[in-house]
Amino acid sequence: MTDYSREKKLLLQQAKNTVASSYSRLVHAGVLVLTGDDCSVVRIVFAKGNFAHLCGFEVFTTRDKTRHDRQERFYDYMIGNTMLPLNRIDFSDRHGSHQTSLEKCLRNTRQKIKIAPTAFDMLYSNLADKESYIVQSAKSAVAIFVGDTCWALGLKPKAMAGNGDVSEYAPVSLLSESVLSDRVHRAGSFAARIVAAEWR
């Protein structure tokens, strides 16, 4: 039988040791601007508050986990700036309206933490040097995905331009799956090869 408390502690330690520094570089690098071979442009802002969910965790204000706390607290805890009681942290989507099973939450978190260092390091370096893509999402909660044949980063609009176009995106999902798979890329929709990536 799985000891979920022990597994949570181990995964949190793994995130702290192998993932936090990679994401911190993204937070401090500025805005990542990706250009597709169809001339599409995607601007991504990596905020502190997105880190917890990308690792498969959520932060709560109470032990009964009925109210969410500021998710930035997870990032600050992971990079060593603050203390955070472990009983205020749990797996993403375990509480609230989704009620995902504990076993599935644990599996998803393991996959995220395993692929996150690779994905974050590629995003920080030149993503255009790899075979990577921008695709329309097959998932209703995500607008587009960027990634390669091993991982996919889901993005949602963060800010709108005056003409109604999306000016910036925020990362909200990380999958250990090809960005071109049917579960990630909507069938029949655009898939643009990333030809340029720069930080501004």
Specify the number of domains making up the chain: 1
Residues of the chain short of pLDDT 50, as ranges, are: none
Residue 73 CB partners (closer than 8 Å, separation 6+)? 59, 82, 84
d(CA 54, CA 133): 19
SS3 195: strand
> Residue 21: what pLDDT?
96
> Residue 165: what pLDDT?
66
> Residue 83: what pLDDT?
82
Domain that holds residue 30: 4-199
Q: Indicate the pTM of the whole model.
A: 0.92
Residue 109 CB partners (closer than 8 Å, separation 6+)? 11, 55, 56, 57, 91, 92
d(CA 71, CA 57): 9
SS3 83: coil
> Residue 162: what pLDDT?
59
> Residue 190: what pLDDT?
93
> Residue 89: what pLDDT?
94
> Residue 97: what pLDDT?
66
